[in-house]
Structure 1
Amino acid sequence: MEYTIVEEGKFKYIESEGTGPVLMLLHGLLGALSNFKGIIEAFKDDYKVVVPILPIYEMPLFQVSVTGLVDYVAEFVKYKNYNAVNVLGNSLGGHIGLLYTLAHQDKVSSLILTGSSGLFESGMGNTFPKRGDYEFIKKKAEDTFYDPAIATKELIDELYNVVNDRNKAIRIVATAKSAIRHNLGDKLHLIKIPVLLIWGKEDSVTPPFVGEKFEELLPDAKLYLIDKCGHAPMMEKPDEFNEILKSFLEKNT
């Protein structure tokens, strides 16, 4: 499905026409709008679903970091004049959501994390693909999921193009290193709002014990584990993911 990307000033985003509570989706380091297709379709009528496109490749290099991206999200929420947001983040998007919540808890109604970084970083790390190595990149993409078929040729080609673009690759590595420096283990107790954790049981990037640790450290968190599912449950098990999310949002918005 194609989405209309709105461009206003420094911001690029998509936004549903729903008039309900705001559900803001934050993508991961190598995420795309297509990752959230299932959520957007399921919630676009009853919620104002908004996906800001994080400027990982556009920011000045000296600003490329998780904190730079958190500042961008804060500016976006202010620009849109949202009074309260439900923040959902996958992978690095979850990390950004956590940092945004810590800085602006008065703006966040609830937080949803799925395969989130912030406590334990595996990801690309030191094994960032060699430029031009298509098979390695294909394997990396497939390993993200329990079912390797979810890693379509389109997704693999997109990842391949990012890795082979020197400017983009430098920014990916810089952001990943910044994420490792921002471990949030000693700050999670400060987040008092309701938090939903949805994890794939076969997540090899942020394994289930990471979700369990988040549940232990966050004062008001509930963890759901999904069988036969990897690092992106909203893509791999969209129906199950959306059912859990719907129930949580109905109670907390």
Structure 2
Amino acid sequence: MPGALSWLDDLTITRKGDGPPLLLLHGGSGPLDGMPFWSDLTRDFDVIAPTHPGFAATPSPYDCDTVDDLAYLYLDMMDRLDLQDVVLMGFSIGGWIAAEIAVKSTARLSRMILVDAVGIKVGDRETRDIADVFIHSPAVLAEKLYHDPSKAPDLSAMSQEEQRKAAYNQQSLALYGWEPYLHNPKLKGRLHRVDIPTLLIWGASDGIVTPAYGAAYCDFIPGARMVVIDEAGHAPQFEQPEKFVDQVCGFARES
């Protein structure tokens, strides 16, 4: 069978926990199930975390090569799993995927959380809104990604298998987000279609997409609000896991 439904058979999904379903869409660094915040979320949610095809050396169908493809893939996945009242949360490029899902259909969604998301163009054509993650040295990239660059992973300390997966992550990020660079020129004009409560969580020190970018993103989504976490960069879930989980759980419990 052609199309996204056939891709589901090769999709790697990690699922754990009890509670309302939380669909977690990872960012460019790959799956998040080893991070400290993961176990905290599984105490409150049924966490469903697919690995985007190609990331972490997972199978990558030849005809799944855009964020739009991934959005339809996860819409089909929710249908197949018959998920209802899903809290949709995406990190970085995963936030872009989440936004693309929400402008297509919120029928199975209850809320959306975008964490340091990319996906839109907020400045003019001469202004770089999103830092180029492919051109910088590891040291410079760490400065942009982290409030405390010493928390960046040490590539030299990785096992050969971890390095292989990291290489696939970079390759897959380029596949889905190279041109136009990490955004869809039309998404900004579609965000008015989002009709579920939406929270944007941002690291105050994010040097990839700044809090000003996040505030602009927030303004395009009806009724959305934004919280900024201090002493955190592009991955507040990593640098400030307790504050991050508190924001997620508090938002999910709101009536």
Letter paired with 2:66: S
Residues 54-89 of structure 1, C-alpha deviation per residue, up to 9 Å, x if partnerless?
113532344211011112212221221112210110
What is the alpha-carbon distance in structure 2 between the residues aligned to residue 31 and residue 156 of structure 1? Answer: 17
Give 1:122's match in structure 2, choosing from 114, 120, 130. 130
- Point out where structure 1 has 5 or more consecutive residues left out of the alignment: 1-7, 130-135
Matched, 1:11 2:14: no
Quickly say closer, same or farther: Cα 1:94–1:240, change in 2 above 3 A.
same
Structure 1 position 17, deviation (Å): 3.4
Quickly say closer, same or farther: Cα 1:183–1:39, change in 2 above 3 A.
farther
What is the alpha-carbon distance in structure 2 between the residues aligned to residue 190 and residue 56 of structure 1? Answer: 29
Letter paired with 1:54: H
Q: Matched residue pairs, number?
A: 234
What is the alpha-carbon distance in structure 1 between the residues aligned to residue 167 and residue 15 of structure 2? Answer: 31
What is the alpha-carbon distance in structure 1 between the residues aligned to residue 156 and residue 86 of structure 2? Answer: 29
Structure 1 position 34, deviation (Å): 4.3
3-state SS in 1 of match to 2:78 = helix
Structure 1 position 164, deviation (Å): 5.4
What is the alpha-carbon distance in structure 1 between the residues aligned to residue 223 and residue 119 of structure 2? Answer: 17
Quickly say closer, same or farther: Cα 1:67–1:23, change in 2 above 3 A.
same
Q: TM-score, normalised by structure 2?
A: 0.81
Quickly say closer, same or farther: Cα 1:155–1:17, change in 2 above 3 A.
farther
What is the alpha-carbon distance in structure 2 between the residues aligned to residue 86 and residue 159 of structure 1? Answer: 30
3-state SS in 2 of match to 1:96 = helix
Quickly say closer, same or farther: Cα 1:34–1:183, change in 2 above 3 A.
farther
3-state SS in 2 of match to 1:223 = strand
Give 2:204's match in structure 1, choosing from 196, 201, 204. 201
Higher helix residue share: 1
1:172 match: 173
What is the alpha-carbon distance in structure 2 between the residues aligned to residue 245 and residue 228 of structure 1? Answer: 18
3-state SS in 2 of match to 1:33 = coil
1:231 match: 234
Quickly say closer, same or farther: Cα 1:245–1:92, change in 2 above 3 A.
same
1:184 match: 187
1:54 match: 52
Q: Deviation above 3 Å: which 4+ runs of structure 1?
A: 154-165, 168-171
Residues 5-34 of structure 1, C-alpha deviation per residue, up to 9 Å, x if partnerless?
xxx83221111131x210111001233324
User: Are the aligned partners of 1:118 and 1:183 in contact in 2 as well (CA < 8 Å)?
Assistant: no
Q: TM-score, normalised by structure 1?
A: 0.82
Structure 1 position 183, deviation (Å): 4.7
Structure 1 position 43, deviation (Å): 2.2
3-state SS in 2 of match to 1:180 = coil
1:107 match: 108
Letter paired with 2:23: M
2:20 match: 21
Structure 1 position 215, deviation (Å): 2.0
3-state SS in 2 of match to 1:59 = coil
Structure 1 position 212, deviation (Å): 0.7
What is the alpha-carbon distance in structure 2 between the residues aligned to residue 193 and residue 169 of structure 1? Answer: 32
3-state SS in 2 of match to 1:83 = coil
Q: CA RMSD in A?
A: 2.6
User: Are the aligned partners of 1:115 and 1:199 in contact in 2 as well (CA < 8 Å)?
Assistant: yes
What is the alpha-carbon distance in structure 1 between the residues aligned to residue 148 and residue 117 of structure 2? Answer: 20
3-state SS in 1 of match to 2:219 = helix
Residues 91-114 of structure 1, C-alpha deviation per residue, up to 9 Å, x if partnerless?
000000011111121111000011
What is the alpha-carbon distance in structure 1 between the residues aligned to residue 90 and residue 243 of structure 2? Answer: 17
Structure 1 position 174, deviation (Å): 2.5
Residues 135-174 of structure 1, C-alpha deviation per residue, up to 9 Å, x if partnerless?
x235424531111122122598588646756xx6554322
1:214 match: 217
Alignment map for 1:136-155 (pairs within 5 Å) = 136-153=137-154
Give 1:43's match in structure 2, choosing from 23, 41, 44. 41
- Point out where structure 2 has 5 or more consecutive residues left out of the alignment: 1-7, 122-128
Quickly say closer, same or farther: Cα 1:84–1:159, change in 2 above 3 A.
same
